[in-house]
Structures are given as structure tokens and as C-alpha cells.
Amino acid sequence: MTDALDLDRYFPYQLSRLAHTVSRGTAQCVAQQCGLALREARLVVVLGALGESSAAQLVARTAMDKAPVSRALANLVRLGLVQRLPDPLDGRAYLLNLTAEGRALHGELRERLLERERRLLAALSDTEQTQLLRLMQRLTSHIESTEDVGFAWTEE
């Protein structure tokens, strides 16, 4: 079929495939390390990096939807890894922090995830790794700044 989309050269397909493969392996790594779901571990890692944050900040930083973030945070609070404190500037909102147990888990996850990153990128030289990261950041900025972020399927 000559009009078929060449998936080997189609960037969104290749990126999605890579992201899925990396996420699946990371989820297994995280489950073995601490028994958390990937989204919960992601929030522990992001809270560890950012410090005190609102749920809205975590949604923005993780690019996850609000509902899964809310459910994951509720579970992390229940597990004693995250504490919710009233936001002194907004009586309706809460600020989130890692507890001492959450910070300890963050340290363990950090080491394991950095080792996984080293193994994943081992096929690339240091220069290629730097270049890849820069290109990914540039594409992310470009896509986020584009008004038409998605592709609308419209009938003509």
C-alpha cells in the first residue's frame, strides 16, 4: 500500500512507542522498589524535587490529569508518605509535602531511577544524551506554545 503512513518514520508514533516502553519498565521498577503505582511514585519524585506544592502545581508539572493526581495523592496521604496542610493564602486549597517516610522513599526511588536512566541511555554517548535532552526540551516548549496543540479531526 503506497499511501500508508510509514510508522518507522512517523515521529508521534515512535515517540509514543518509546514512552510506553520506558513507562512500562519504570512502573515495574517502581513496583518492585516500593509497591506504588507509577503515578504515585511520579508524585513522590516530583514533590521531592519541588518541595511544598499545590495539587494544581503537581498536575501542571506531571502533565497528568487532575482526577488521577487527586486519587494518587489521597492514597499517598493514606500511606503516610504525603501530608496535606491548609494553604494559608487560600482557605479552599491544600499544600502538599512529603512526610519523613516519603522523603526516605524519595531518596530510594531517586537512586533506583537514576540507575535506570543510566542503563536506558547507555546506547548514547554523553554528547548524544545532552543533544537528545535539548531536542526534547525544545520540542516540548514548541508544542506547549503552539495554539493548536492537538490535531482536530473535522469533517469537511
Helical axes 38-50 vs 55-62, angle rounded to 10°: 110
Cβ atoms 60, 25 nearer than 8 A: no
More confident site: 155 or 82: 82
- Please determine, looking at this structure, whether the domain spanning 11-142 carries the CATH number 1.10.10.10: yes
State the average pLDDT for the chain: 89
Cβ atoms 43, 72 nearer than 8 A: yes
Evaluate if pTM is beyond 0.75: yes
End-to-end CA distance of the chain: 25
More confident site: 122 or 4: 122
Q: Which of 40-49, 76-85, 116-125, 141-150 has the lowest mean pLDDT?
A: 141-150
* pLDDT at site 100: 98
Domain extents for the chain?
A: 11-142
